[in-house]
Amino acid sequence: MDMSENKKLAIVTGGGTGLGQASVVRLLADGYRVISLGLDVEQEIDHPDHEERSFDVTDSKAIAALAQEFDGVDALVNAAGTIIHEKAEFTNAGFAKVMDVNLRGTQEICFALEAALKARRGAIVNFASMWSYFGSARNPAYSASKGAVDSFTRALAAAWSADGVRTNAVAPGWVKTRMSINAMNTPERAEPILKRIPMARWGEPSEVANAVAFLVSDQASYINGVTLPIDGGFMVA
């Protein structure tokens, strides 16, 4: 028998890029067998307990097929997400596309893996955002979708915790990822952002991944229905 079959299983959507990939690296370090699902890969991860799959979180048939593979899942991390710039989110098609990935993609895979998560008394971590709380003048769909993820997280926590499944979320702020690169590299945007962050620096992807790893671990066994800001204090400043 493959020894990896005895390890805890984590499924990470958006696991090939950004904060999802950082979460994969951390969960592998913690001894999980990890399956990464996504349409893009920033850096190949060479690890015997890691499997990378091309996967569209808006593909309902693919999600249903995935659910049939596993009798038990210990951790589900929903990091897959998208944002569209150049005012495209102010069109019906653009708005719908972002909501489809960020909200429905998260919702459908949670629903599909419900039995597998309950079988292992697993934990879910969804990816909300600082824009769950603020109104984004540039990205209304991203803001709305992440606000909905925050609310959906609380709903699942209330619904499934009696069956042993904890559901929490992280709400990253300004972290060094491709999604933030334009703001980081534009002085007129970067300067006021950094002035507002009490810690006066951008976050590292590993700092978000550390929180994800904590929330799915037994150390967080009585934490349920929480959305944890990881923003260096941006929200309170």
Q: What is the pLDDT of residues 104-124, one digit of tens each?
A: 999 999 999 999 999 999 999
Q: Tally the domains of the chain.
A: 1
Single pTM value for the model: 0.95
Q: State which residues form the domain around 139.
A: 3-236
Q: Residue 53 corresponds to which tokens in the numbers above?
A: 């799959």
Residues taking part in catalysis: 142
Give whole-number Cα distances, 3 to 35, 142, 212, in Å.
16, 41, 25
Q: In what order do the strands lie in the sheet with 9-13?
A: 50-54, 33-38, 9-13, 75-78, 123-127, 166-172, 227-230
Encode pLDDT of 33-46 as tens digits: 999 999 999 999 99
What is the CATH classification number for the domain harbouring 161?
Answer: 3.40.50.720
